[in-house]
C-alpha cells in the first residue's frame, strides 16, 4: 500500500531544489525537494506547512506500472503566466513506506494549467490535514415578496322594519311637597290610671287599662323650645319639635348625628329644626344603619342657615332647608 496519496482535483506536484517559497504554487499543491528528497504540502492559505515528509527513508520498491489514467483536460487558459523552469520529477521507484492514517487534503480549485506529466510518485502518508474554513458567505438571498390577501367585500345587513313599540312614558315627577309643620306636642299627661287593688294573696293587681288624656295639639302660636349646642351633638327624643341651635365659638366643625330607631324611638313624622348661628360649619350625618336623604348636601350652607330633619320610616330621614 502506498504511504502517500496525491490530492484529488488535478492539483499539480511541483519540484525544485530546496524548500518551496511562500509565493510558489496554489492552495492544495504538493512540492518535492529533489535535493533533500522531501515532500511539502498540500499548500494552505497561510502558505507551505512546515515539517515535510522525508522521501529517502523507505526501502526501494519495484517500479510501479505506468499510469493509465489521464486527468480531464481543463479549458484552455486565457492567462499566460511566467514560464517556470521545466521540472522533471525523478523517476523514482515505487516506495512503500509504513502505512499511516488515510489523509485526504482539501480539494483545491480546478486547475487551469496543465503541468508536465511527472512520474507517478507515492510518498508516505502524511498527517491528517484539514484546510481552513472559507469565510462566511456575505450574500443574502432575495427577500420573499410581501403578499396581502384581498380585502373581503363590506357587507351591510338589511335595515330591520321600524319599531312599532312605543317606549314607556317617563314618570311624572312632582317635587316634594313642603313639610307640614305642626307645632310642638303638648306636654305629656301627668295623669296615671288607678292601680288595681291588691288581691288577698298579695299578688300584683292587673295593669291599668286607662290611658290619660292626650294633650292638646300644638300650633304655630305655641312657643318653640330651643336647645342651644356648641359642640358635636347626637339627637335625643326630647328634641322632637324643638329648634336646635349650633354655634362653635372656635370656628371648628359641628357634627349632628341622627341615632338609629332602635336606640332612640322617634315617632314617625317627628320634626327637629336645626339652625347654624355661628361661623362653625354644621353637617348632619346618620349613625350606622341610618339613611338621610338631602339635596344638594347634608350641611347647613352658611351662618344663619336653617334646616329641618324629618323622620318618616324605618331608619330613614329627610333633611330639607338651606343646604350645601
How confident is the model over 11-50, as pLDDT tens digits?
689 999 998 988 888 998 899 999 989 898 899 988 988 7
Read off the pLDDT of each residue in 279-292 and give the average, rounded to a whole number.
Answer: 94
What is the pairing mode between strands 38-40 and 53-54? antiparallel
The pLDDT assigned to 95 comes to 44
What is the pairing mode between strands 316-321 and 306-313? antiparallel
Task: Based on DSSP, count helices (H) and strands (E) in the chain, helices before strands.
Answer: 0, 14
Report the half-sphere exposure of 194 (CA within 13 A, side-chain side): 3
Show the cell assigned to 263.
Answer: 336606640
* Distance in angstroms (rounded) separating the CA atoms of residues 227 and 238: 10
What value does the mean pLDDT of the chain take?
Answer: 73
* Distance in angstroms (rounded) separating the CA atoms of residues 12 and 71: 11
The DSSP code for 322 is S
Look at 235 and 95; give whichever has higher pLDDT.
Answer: 235
Residue extents of the structural domains in the chain: 1-63+87-128, 226-321
Read off the pLDDT of each residue in 232-251 and give the average, rounded to a whole number.
Answer: 92
Pair 140, 114: CB distance under 8 Å: no
* Distance in angstroms (rounded) separating the CA atoms of residues 59 and 49: 26
- Which segment of 50-59, 144-153, 231-240, 289-298 scores lowest on mean pLDDT? 144-153
The DSSP code for 106 is P
Look at 194 and 111; give whichever has higher pLDDT.
Answer: 194
Q: What is the SS3 assignment for 238?
A: helix
* Distance in angstroms (rounded) separating the CA atoms of residues 237 and 266: 6
* Distance in angstroms (rounded) separating the CA atoms of residues 300 and 297: 8
Cα distances (Å, whole numbers) of residue 143 to 85, 148, 160? 52, 15, 50
Read off the pLDDT of each residue in 6-13 and give the average, rounded to a whole number.
Answer: 62
- Which segment of 65-79, 114-128, 207-221, 242-256 scores lowest on mean pLDDT? 114-128
- Which segment of 50-59, 68-77, 123-132, 150-159 scores lowest on mean pLDDT? 123-132
The length of the chain is 324
- Is 294's pLDDT higher than 70? yes
Read off the pLDDT of each residue in 126-138 and give the average, rounded to a whole number.
Answer: 57
Plot region of 142 (φ>0 → left; ψ -120 to 50 → alpha; else → beta): beta
Read off the pLDDT of each residue in 228-253 and give the average, rounded to a whole number.
Answer: 91
Bridge partners (DSSP) of residue 226 are 243
82-86, 139-143, 317-321 — which one is most confidently predicted on average?
Answer: 317-321
pLDDT band at 281 (very low <50, low <70, confident <90, very high): very high
Q: In CATH terms, is domain 226-321 a member of 1.10.10?
A: no
Amino acid at each position: 500500500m502506498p504511504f502517500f496519496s496525491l490530492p484529488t482535483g488535478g492539483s499539480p506536484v511541483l519540484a525544485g531544489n530546496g524548500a518551496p517559497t511562500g509565493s510558489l504554487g496554489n492552495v492544495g499543491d504538493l512540492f518535492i525537494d529533489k535535493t533533500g528528497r522531501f515532500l511539502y504540502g498540500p499548500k494552505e492559505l497561510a502558505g507551505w506547512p512546515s515539517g515535510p515528509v522525508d522521501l529517502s527513508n523507505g526501502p526501494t520498491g519495484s517500479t510501479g506500472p505506468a499510469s493509465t489514467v489521464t486527468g480531464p483536460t481543463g479549458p484552455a487558459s486565457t492567462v499566460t503566466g511566467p514560464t517556470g523552469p521545466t521540472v522533471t520529477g525523478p523517476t523514482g521507484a515505487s516506495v512503500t513506506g509504513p502505512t499511516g492514517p488515510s489523509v485526504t487534503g482539501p480539494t483545491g480549485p480546478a486547475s487551469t494549467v496543465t503541468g508536465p506529466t511527472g512520474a507517478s510518485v507515492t510518498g508516505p502518508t502524511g498527517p491528517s490535514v484539514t484546510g481552513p474554513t472559507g469565510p462566511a458567505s456575505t450574500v443574502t438571498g432575495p427577500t420573499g415578496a410581501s403578499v396581502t390577501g384581498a380585502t373581503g367585500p363590506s357587507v351591510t345587513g338589511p335595515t330591520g322594519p321600524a319599531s312599532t313599540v312605543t317606549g314607556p312614558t317617563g314618570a311624572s315627577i312632582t317635587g316634594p311637597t313642603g313639610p307640614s309643620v305642626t307645632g310642638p306636642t303638648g306636654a305629656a299627661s301627668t295623669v296615671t290610671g288607678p292601680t288595681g287593688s291588691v288581691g288577698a294573696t298579695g299578688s300584683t293587681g292587673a295593669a291599668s287599662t286607662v290611658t290619660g288624656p292626650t294633650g292638646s295639639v300644638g300650633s304655630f302660636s305655641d312657643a318653640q323650645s330651643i336647645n342651644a349646642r356648641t359642640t358635636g351633638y347626637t339627637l335625643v327624643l326630647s328634641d322632637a319639635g324643638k329648634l336646635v341651635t349650633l354655634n362653635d365659638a372656635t370656628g371648628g366643625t359641628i357634627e349632628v348625628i341622627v341615632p338609629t330607631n332602635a336606640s332612640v324611638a322617634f315617632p314617625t313624622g317627628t320634626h327637629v329644626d336645626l339652625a347654624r348661628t355661628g361661623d362653625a360649619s354644621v353637617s348632619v350625618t346618620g349613625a350606622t344603619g341610618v339613611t338621610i336623604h338631602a339635596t344638594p348636601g347634608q350641611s347647613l350652607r352658611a351662618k344663619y342657615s336653617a334646616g329641618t330633619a324629618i323622620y318618616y320610616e324605618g331608619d330613614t330621614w329627610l333633611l330639607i332647608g338651606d343646604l350645601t
